[in-house]
A and B are shown apart, each in its own frame.
Chain A
Amino acid sequence: GEDVEQSLFLSVREGDSSVINCTYTDSSSTYLYWYKQEPGAGLQLLTYIFSNMDMKQDQRLTVLLNKKDKHLSLRIADTQTGDSAIYFCAEAAGGYNKLIFGAGTRLAVHP
C-alpha cells in the first residue's frame, strides 16, 4: 500500500544547511510535495516536484528526487530560526490529488 516515511527529528545550527529525507512507496506518484507546519497552524505548501524531474531549486530550497530509490529530500540553505517547524513529505497517489503524508520531521534551529 501507500506509505511515506520520514525521520522524526533534525537539529541544526543557524546558518547551516538542513537536509530532510523522505521515502515513499507508490511508484506511480506523479507529484511529490513538501509542506511546512508551524505550531498551531495549518500546512503551508513549500514546494513540489514532478516525478520526471530529479531536482528543483526555489530560492533557499532544493528538492532532490531519486525515483529509482523512491527517495525525496529537501535541503534548506542558510537555515534560520524562522525555519523551525514540522516538515511533511507527501505523495499524490491514485492519479488525483489524494495526498499521502509522512509523519513529519521536526526541525529545530539553534543559535
Chain B
Amino acid sequence: EAGVVQSPRYKIIEKKQPVAFWCNPISGHNTLYWYRQNLGQGPELLIRYENEEAVDDSQLPKDRFSAERLKGVDSTLKIQPAELGDSAVYLCASSLDVGPNEKLFFGSGTQLSVL
C-alpha cells in the first residue's frame, strides 16, 4: 500500500517568490494534516482537514499561507510571498478518521529553502 506522497522533495526559492507543495494522502484517509518542522524542532500543526473542510487552521499564517483540499483527497499548501523564516520541512500526514486513538501516517516532507 502506498504511503503519504509529497512533492516536490526539495524546493529552493528566493524570498518574495511563491511556492506550492502537494500531498496525496493514503487512500481512504479522511483526515489530512499539514505540519511545519523547523530545524531542530518537532513538527507543528498548520492546518487539519476533515474531508474537504478545514476544521483547524488556527496556526496557519493566513496573510501568506493558503491551503486547499478539493474533493477531499489531494491537498496543496501555498506560500505567497515566501520569507526567509519560512525555510523548514513541510510535512503532510493523514489518518483514517479523527480522534485521539487515530494513528497519523506522515509523508517524507518537502524541504523548503528560502534564499
Contact = CB atoms under 8 A, between A and B. Distances in A.
A associates with B: yes
B98 A40 contact: no
Contacts of B101: 30-31, 50
B45 interface: yes
A4 B42 contact: yes
Interface in A49-71: 50
B42 A96 contact: no
Given A101-B42, A103-B40, A41 B108 contact: yes
Interface residues of A, number: 24
A101 B100 contact: no
A98 B108 contact: no
A95 B100 contact: yes
Interface of B: 4, 31, 40-45, 48, 56, 91, 93, 95, 98-109
Given A43-B43, A96-B100, A104-B41, 9 more contacts: A31-B101, A42-B91, A97-B31, A97-B98, A97-B102, A97-B104, A98-B56, A103-B40, A104-B40
Interface of A: 4, 30-31, 35, 40-45, 48, 50, 88, 90, 92, 95-99, 101-104
